Amino acid sequence: MDVSVSATGHDNVTARHDSTLELTTDDFLTPAGDCILGIDADCSPAAFSDAFVAACQDAAATITLVLDTPQHRDEITGSGHPDLTFTNDRSMVGRTSTYVDDRTVFVDADKAAADVDRELVAALADGAPLTATLRVD
């Protein structure tokens, strides 16, 4: 089961955070947002289907985030968690930890923003379009 989100890079994308990565529906990014990979996302976790949310709430679920720009691709793999709510209407966050709040879409990730392919990050810093596909197995 997949959900795709379209977003856009921004010149303040640095992807330096070592424990999270984020997409936001906000149309701006300050230099402090070092976990944010894309802005102006066309949907938030609150818009995801009930079936998708239920699948992600299985602790045994594997959740893969595929990041695609026109020239680059990277994948992050994390886990589901029973406490995931998908209620945030502004941003989605993947975490290397097991911390869960209303923005969290997966935990125990094998990468954070700082680990994302640097060529993909450079493209996002140049404003490249981003398709982020969340797949739950």
| Residue-wise pLDDT tens digits, 71-125 | 999 999 999 999 999 999 999 999 999 999 999 999 999 999 999 999 999 999 9
The tally of domains found in the chain comes to 1
pTM of the model: 0.96
Going by their DSSP bridges, the two strands 62-68 and 36-38 should be labelled as unpaired
Q: For residue 36, what are the domain limits?
A: 2-136
- The CATH number for 123's domain is 2.60.120.630
* Distance in angstroms (rounded) separating the CA atoms of residues 56 and 69: 25
Q: Which residues contact 128 (CB under 8 A, 6 or more apart)?
A: 8, 9, 69, 70, 71
How far is 1 from 6, CA to CA, in rounded Å?
17
Rounded mean pLDDT, 55-77: 98
Nearest to 125 by CA among 8, 7, 11: 11
